[in-house]
Structure formats: structure tokens, C-alpha cells
Amino acid sequence: MKGTLNNSPLLLVAMLLAPLCGFAQMSDFDMRLPMDIDADNTTIDGKNSMIIFSGLRLTQGRVSIQADEGRATRMELEDSIWHFDGNVVIDVGDGHIECDSAELYFDDFSLQSAIVTGAPALYDLQRPGTDEITHAEAERLDYDVRGGVIQFSGQATITEGGNQITSNVLVYNIAEQRINADSSGDEDGRVRITYTPANGLEVPTDDEPEPDDDETP
């Protein structure tokens, strides 16, 4: 099952995904800023042209990354691949990511693509100017910077307040602000959306008394 979600009230999906662009735009990831690295151990593998960090803490501007292990093909972000493994925590501006592994590809001081995986990977992003948090979970995130596309796969779920969308695959085109949701076809993998209107009625609880049919005004 596949659908393009772009009509009200499914615009809530765009509202849920909008804060994730904070991570996608990487406006806080200035590749030319000084980089600070704190590690328990550093190994230079000349044979494989790899720098390996254990117990890594990396900061650059408003970006920080922690991981049990980090590997880089070279220190400069002009042209390199960085791979982080084990208890990975990434903070980018108002975004917070916890995952098992992350791989970042850089070229000409620009992030070209990112792959984040976990069981699941967790994403929390705060909407600018509010206390609202958009929470997302997925087994994998693929971000194509040049294509402007973010794909969540593996039981992807995005939640904010009373609104939630769950699908096996969620693909967000940033420029076109278009969301595609794919299901796996089985019952557990169907696209599911929960929408709570801003002025909607509350669901009655079992504690509320039921009206007496015999009572007359």
C-alpha cells in the first residue's frame, strides 16, 4: 500500500515532520568551524587510511556527537566519511538523536548524505519558539542532502501531542513538502494515523457517570 499524504487533515503529517528539517538542513553544522575531539584512545591505521577513536566526544559549533567508537577516513570534512558506532548520541541545535550507528558523508565541506540506524533510533526535536517536542522512532533514517529527501524505514513512528503517524516507510521531500507513506501490506505494517483536533472533545472515561434514562427534566 502506498499513498501521498497532502490533504487536510493529513497536513498534520507535514506538521509532524517539519521540525525534522532542523536536522535535515544542518544549519548548525558549519564544516569550517574548529572541531574539538576528546577520546579515550586514538589509533591511526595507515594501511587502511583510517583514524579510529574510542570513547569519542566530538563538538563543532552547536553540534556534538558521542559514540563508543568513531572512524574517519580523514580529519578534514572537506572530503571524508565519518562512521560512529555504539551508544551514539547526536545533538544538532534543537535536535537530539540516539542510535546504534551513524554514517556521515562529506564533500567540499558539505554534508552530502547521512545514514542513521538503531533498534530503533530515536529522534527528539523541539519546535522553534515552543516547548513542543516532536518524537520519532525508526530502524533507519536515510538523508539525501542534494536530493532534499529524508526516508524513515523500519516501523517508522512520528508523534507530537495527540497526533501520530506510523508506517513501514515514510519519505519526506523537503522542497515539495510532500510525504509518501508505504506499508508492508500486512496488518501490522499498514499506515496508521491518529489525529487529535485542537478543539476536539475528550474521550469519556469509565469513571464518568452515565446519564439516567429514567430521569426527567
List pLDDT tens digits, range 140-188.
999 887 788 888 899 888 887 778 888 888 888 777 767 777 665 555 5
pLDDT of residue 209: 58
Q: Taking the CB of residue 150, how many other CB atoms lie within 10 A of it?
A: 22
pLDDT band at 7 (very low <50, low <70, confident <90, very high): very low
Domains belonging to the chain, first-starting first, are 12-44+53-153 (2.60.450.10)
- Do 121 and 140 touch, CB atoms closer than 8 A? yes
CA dist., res. 140 & res. 159, Å (int): 17
pTM of the predicted model as reported, rounded to 2 decimal places:
0.74
Residue tagged 554514517 (cell numbers):
103
CA dist., res. 61 & res. 64, Å (int): 8
In order of 38, 83, 106, 132, the CA distances from 56 in angstroms are: 6, 11, 19, 30
The three cell numbers locating residue 138: 525508526
